[in-house]
A and B are shown apart, each in its own frame.
Chain A
């Protein structure tokens, strides 16, 4: 028997480590001789910590929300040959609902192999694609296979991968670099983290194949410092690959030499832009440079450099092993293959899903995503992080694809999907994103540096209930000017959240400006909390919990909120028992 526990950052945050220790202790004390393994993120983050029990006959019981006590109960049940039904969320025959409609290419090994074991990866078919590329294929054939697959950059811009590889290959310079962009800066996106933590060898293998295709000897992974576990596992994976001769000199006897090193980013969103990333790799402030020359011509240390995203590389071994046509068979006309999305926000089942391109947003959110938390009403989904936009319910049947998403005003981005319900104020949300991009603007281009600041001031005014007629038009004008007048992707897309929310939720902006009301009841300056006298039973709960002690009233008497002291934190609304619902917001 094998007991497997998910220990990615999400599993650990949910309490996976004590569960692992409890399992180990229980297995040891009872002398069961079961093997305890760790694995990466299975994608069902809302059910973490997750534990799989794999029986001798290959059948699997998967348990979710496992605590230390539950872990002991699981062992007790499994010893008797039964399952702990209450916590069992899936078996090998009946997969969890989250997996409906998913096709796992990039995430093929996440949640099944031990990310710290190269042998596990090899047993799962790993490094066969590298062997095939180096022994049976020329670099040109590798590029051709990727062209046939239709793979496009998964980091955001969606540039055809083969085209970049080919352009770098064509450069006459002897020294070339291959760079992996693992600076996943989009707040709300965690595909790359899960991949690096759950299957680091897939990324290394993809990079090595790419290195062979473009003619580079040296690969660099630019990873976020905020992902300590990913960096640790990557480092371990690199050492293992070196020890096996899968990185280093003369790989699999082909004469091809390639090695990979890790460089830690230091926290700057703009470094997701490739020229800024290169500046940062060179130890400078991460400021974008003018293109052309493109990185494929003059990149890292002015040498031809190819930069791809983590997920793009993770797809490469699968494509080489199974052929480009197999990958191109999935997806739509302009967007082939599968895409990983990170579902988060007001959604029931947050986590990672990988679906074929062309699936509709509705099918993703209400299929694997399980719909909206607390069965509230869906309002919008934000795609592409601070560079993307909000898509309203009327466009939920949009299929995911580079062009179809772009047509809505949002972008596919790296795959962050943050779902909003009726309690999210779209004006405040746009302010939040703008606050982020304004803060992260590197300051090189005036329209971006000063324009985003001016836009933010207007947004703050709107949320504070001080909006003026003409503000919406001013935001639209500024937004267009910033997009036209900035050098890099950050400035080109920073106004997107504001512009798309104006496009689809203009009535909310108008309510803030002309009615001085926040329809979602989120903007503190525009709302007041009241205790309704006919409903209040005087249970004193709100008065006890109020952090500023602004609620007065004796037990069994009607309570009153002192509006002058109220900070509008909403605690009273939350704690008031639902059978009375005496607190109202207006």
Chain B
């Protein structure tokens, strides 16, 4: 009888990375390698390169930088910014701030969930969108607000929110067609 975990093929860093990502990772290690206290910056860098924090990459970083895996995992799970699962191409941050809350952010959430057919925190099956909550985006006078890929939209109504999503879907469809045409 053998241990069951041996049967599983170990996912290595090569499985989850492209060439460009590997070189981006190497840049990060060179930049922050010797700097004490830069773990958060390293994780932010990884998230920028991969869109999330893949487990094999964290294990690799642990070895290369000599930081214990437990510490990396502790920091990665403490902060709201870090994600341990992949996200869609467009990241939607729906503001949950006080101003948005009293101006009906829950209705925007319902509309977005319905339009995208996902729960809060989920990613659409075509991997185009991930819907996440944000504590506050600081655009309170435009409440309710959401941010998609760094651009803020507000003041929203459920219909406006749906239209923003539909517009991006349309853009995506057009750019796919252009690719096919080219």
On chain A, the residues within 8 Å of B152 by CB distance are 9-10, 12-13
Contact with A along B113-150 (1 / 0, CB 8 A): 01000000000000000000011111111110100001
Which A403-446 residues have a C-beta within 8 angstroms of B? Answer: 416, 418, 420, 424, 429, 432-433, 436, 440, 442
Q: How far is the CB of B56 from chain A (nearest CB, A)?
A: 21
Q: Does A184 contact B (CB under 8 A)?
A: yes
On chain A, the residues within 8 Å of B154 by CB distance are 13-14
Which of A282, A418, A424 counts the most B-chain CB atoms under 10 A from its CB? A418
Alpha-carbon gap, A442 to B77, bound state (A): 11
The 8 A-B residue pairs whose C-beta atoms are closest, nearest first, are: A350-B141, A267-B80, A45-B141, A187-B97, A13-B152, A344-B140, A266-B79, A344-B99
On chain A, the residues within 8 Å of B114 by CB distance are 547
CB-CB under 8 A for A424 and B78, given A13-B145, A547-B110: no
11 contacts between A and B (CB under 8 A): A9-B137, A186-B136, A226-B93, A227-B138, A285-B78, A345-B98, A350-B140, A350-B141, A418-B99, A436-B135, A569-B110
Closest to A287 in B: B78
Among B10-18, B19-27, B100-108, B166-174, the one that faces the other chain is: B100-108
Q: How far is the CB of A145 from chain B (nearest CB, A)?
A: 32
**Given A264-B41, A351-B141, 14 more contacts at CB 8 Å?**
A13-B153, A187-B99, A190-B141, A226-B93, A267-B135, A284-B75, A285-B74, A301-B37, A345-B102, A345-B143, A350-B99, A420-B102, A429-B102, A440-B135
Judging by beta carbons under 8 Å apart, are A10 and B98 in contact? Answer: no
Q: Does B62 contact A (CB under 8 A)?
A: no
Q: Does A188 contact B (CB under 8 A)?
A: yes
Q: Does A346 contact B (CB under 8 A)?
A: yes
Judging by beta carbons under 8 Å apart, are B75 and A283 in contact? Answer: yes
Alpha-carbon gap, A46 to B139, bound state (A): 10
Q: Does B165 contact A (CB under 8 A)?
A: no
Which of B98, B141, B142 counts the most A-chain CB atoms under 10 A from its CB? B141
On chain A, the residues within 8 Å of B103 by CB distance are 345-346
Alpha-carbon gap, A429 to B101, bound state (A): 9
On chain B, the residues within 8 Å of A189 by CB distance are 136, 138, 140
On chain B, the residues within 8 Å of A193 by CB distance are 138
Closest to B93 in A: A226
Chain A positions near chain B (C-beta within 8 angstroms): 9-10, 12-14, 45-46, 48, 184-190, 193, 225-228, 263-269, 280-286, 301, 342-346, 350-351, 382, 385, 416, 418, 420, 424, 429, 432-433, 436, 440, 442, 547, 569-571
Which of B80, B98, B101 counts the most A-chain CB atoms under 10 A from its CB? B98
Judging by beta carbons under 8 Å apart, are B140 and A12 in contact? Answer: no
Q: How far is the CB of B181 from chain A (nearest CB, A)?
A: 27
On chain A, the residues within 8 Å of B145 by CB distance are 13
Judging by beta carbons under 8 Å apart, are A283 and B39 in contact? Answer: yes
On chain A, the residues within 8 Å of B96 by CB distance are 187, 436
Q: How far is the CB of B106 from chain A (nearest CB, A)?
A: 9
Alpha-carbon gap, A269 to B74, bound state (A): 17
Q: How far is the CB of B93 from chain A (nearest CB, A)?
A: 8
Judging by beta carbons under 8 Å apart, are B97 and A12 in contact? Answer: no
Alpha-carbon gap, A416 to B136, bound state (A): 12
Alpha-carbon gap, A420 to B103, bound state (A): 10
Q: How far is the CB of A203 from chain B (nearest CB, A)?
A: 16
On chain A, the residues within 8 Å of B99 by CB distance are 187-188, 344-345, 350, 418
Closest to A424 in B: B102
Q: Which of these, B78, B82, B110, B138, contacts A226 with CB under 8 Å?
A: B138
Q: Does B43 contact A (CB under 8 A)?
A: yes
Contact with A along B47-68 (1 / 0, CB 8 A): 0000000000000000000000
CB-CB under 8 A for A283 and B142, given A187-B96, A436-B135: no
Q: How far is the CB of B155 from chain A (nearest CB, A)?
A: 9
Closest to B111 in A: A547
Which of A9, A12, A280, A281 counts the most B-chain CB atoms under 10 A from its CB? A9
Which of B75, B97, B100, B138 counts the most A-chain CB atoms under 10 A from its CB? B138
Q: Does B81 contact A (CB under 8 A)?
A: yes
Alpha-carbon gap, A190 to B98, bound state (A): 12
Q: How far is the CB of A426 from chain B (nearest CB, A)?
A: 11
Q: Which of these, A45, A266, A342, A418, contacts B40 with CB under 8 Å?
A: A266
On chain A, the residues within 8 Å of B37 by CB distance are 281-284, 301
Q: How far is the CB of A303 from chain B (nearest CB, A)?
A: 12
Judging by beta carbons under 8 Å apart, are A190 and B139 in contact? Answer: yes
Alpha-carbon gap, A571 to B157, bound state (A): 11
Closest to A285 in B: B78
Q: How far is the CB of B24 from chain A (nearest CB, A)?
A: 17
Q: How far is the CB of A7 from chain B (nearest CB, A)?
A: 12
Q: How far is the CB of A81 from chain B (nearest CB, A)?
A: 33
CB-CB under 8 A for A418 and B98, given A13-B153, A226-B137, A268-B78: yes
Alpha-carbon gap, A187 to B36, bound state (A): 32
Q: How far is the CB of B135 from chain A (nearest CB, A)?
A: 6
Alpha-carbon gap, A436 to B80, bound state (A): 13
Q: How far is the CB of B112 from chain A (nearest CB, A)?
A: 12
Q: Does B6 contact A (CB under 8 A)?
A: no
Judging by beta carbons under 8 Å apart, are A346 and B102 in contact? Answer: yes
On chain A, the residues within 8 Å of B142 by CB distance are 10, 13-14, 45, 48, 350
Q: Does B2 contact A (CB under 8 A)?
A: no
Judging by beta carbons under 8 Å apart, are A187 and B141 in contact? Answer: no
On chain B, the residues within 8 Å of A46 by CB distance are 141
Q: How far is the CB of B16 from chain A (nearest CB, A)?
A: 22
Alpha-carbon gap, A442 to B74, bound state (A): 12
Closest to B153 in A: A13
Judging by beta carbons under 8 Å apart, are B81 and A266 in contact? Answer: yes
Alpha-carbon gap, A173 to B39, bound state (A): 26
On chain A, the residues within 8 Å of B80 by CB distance are 266-268
Q: How far is the CB of B156 from chain A (nearest CB, A)?
A: 10
Closest to B67 in A: A283
Contact with A along B82-102 (1 / 0, CB 8 A): 100000000001001111111
